[in-house]
Amino acid sequence: MAGLALGLMAGAQARAEWPDRTIDMIVPFPAGSSPDLLARIVAEPLSKALGQPIIVQNKPGAGGNIGTRLATEAKPDGYTLLFTINGPLVTAPTLYRKTLGYDPFNDLAPVTLVATSPNVLVVPSDLGVKTMADFVRLAKARPGALNYGSVGPGSASQLAMEMFKSQAGLDIAHIPYPGFPQVISAIIAGDIQSSFMVPAIAMPQARNGKATILAVTSLKRADTLPDIPTMAEQGYPGFEAISWDAILVPAGTPSMIIERLNSELARIISSDKVRAQMAVQYFTPAPSSPDELTTRMRDEKARWDTVIEKLGLSLD
């Protein structure tokens, strides 16, 4: 009983003392990328709620794997948060079975899902295509001549295109970039001719006439993009590739800290202000429990493992 009492006292003391200094939020993508923008939307009110500064640390590279690995190596003391997308969590472990350097299910502890968004298929406006059928005809007429961009090998943007290539029978080369801001710049410059990406990066260029949006990757038309047809509507039934963002911490972080973070973030993400800010980025807020995030990770890993196996993809 004395030992139990001491343990409870120590836990209460840790709860009272955390946080007492600056917290780092690692974003494994460049400044200006979609996860970076969403992280900053969340970081400001979370900092106020916790009473300590939260510094967003951009650590891009390898489709998010570098920054994600850095988070797994941090002390599990509540002073390192990871704000990342689905790729490093659900597809990278299968694509990099030997060389990834971390296991998201054992080396990270989920806190909450943050938001979801469909992707869009983007092409340069001067490519001269207006529909998926136009693009497929062009690609088939010029096998090997077109390029597509992604945010790195094994990223969701690459897998979506490889799935599309397989279904449509296309030969399009892959060029990886650190983040979507670089991808959209390459599309505008004519260095690449297509990419699946989040709408927040693509839509401003579509509005100013420099890019064309051919499709969304949700099974149904997106509420935020009701005028853009789905891949399924244009001849690719069942095609779905949803982007989502989540917050995790290094495995071993005390449960009381995870519970506090989850509680504060659920309130923040559900607030009218944050909902409005995320809507501008074409994201839908989706706070969850840690267990719900784990279930999503496992379910999506199983789904994408099937796609990766069917396509015979490996990045080791």
Whether residues 55 and 87 share a domain: the answer is yes
Q: What percent of the chain has pLDDT over 70?
A: 95
Question: ∠ CA(102), CA(245), CA(281), 5° rounding?
Answer: 145
| Shared domain check, 266 and 226 | no
Cβ 251 vs Cβ 236: under 8 Å:
no
**How far apart (Å, rounded) are the C-alpha atoms in residues 60 and 208?**
28
Pair of tokens at residue 110: 């989920």
| Residue 173 located in a structural domain | yes
User: What pLDDT does 105 receive?
Assistant: 97
Is the distance from CB of 154 to CB of 315 less than 8 angstroms? Answer: yes
Q: Of the given ranges (2-11, 49-58, 264-273), which has the lowest mean pLDDT?
A: 2-11
- Check residue 153 and give its pLDDT: 77
Cα separation, 33 vs 39, whole angstroms: 10
Residue 219 and residue 249 in one domain: no
More confident call, 174 vs 152 = 174
Same domain, 85 and 225: no
124 shares a domain with 197 = yes
- Among residues 216, 234, 252, the one where a domain terminates is 234
> Tell me, what CATH number does 189's domain have?
3.40.190.10
Please tell me the pTM assigned to this model. Answer: 0.85
Examine the domain organization and report whether 215 and 203 are in the same domain.
yes
Query: In the predicted model, what is the mean pLDDT of residues 284-290?
Result: 96
* CATH code, domain carrying 77: 3.40.190.150
Q: Kindly report the backbone phi and psi dihedral angles of residue 179, in degrees, each rounded to the nearest multiple of 5, phi listed first.
A: -160, 175
What's the structural domain count of the chain?
Answer: 2
User: Sign (positive/negative) of CA torsion 220, 225, 226, 229?
Assistant: negative
Q: Are 137 and 237 in contact (CB under 8 A)?
A: no
Q: What angle do CA 212, 218, 222 make, to 5 degrees?
A: 70
Looking at 88-198, list the stretches that DSSP marks H as alpha helix, in order from N- to C-terminal side. Answer: 92-95, 104-107, 132-141, 156-168, 180-189
Q: Which domain holds residue 143?
A: 120-234
Amino acid (one-letter) located at 213: I
158 in a structural domain:
yes
User: Are residue 248 and residue 144 in the same domain, yes or no?
Assistant: no
Query: For residue 314, what pLDDT band results from cuts at 50, 70 and 90?
Result: confident
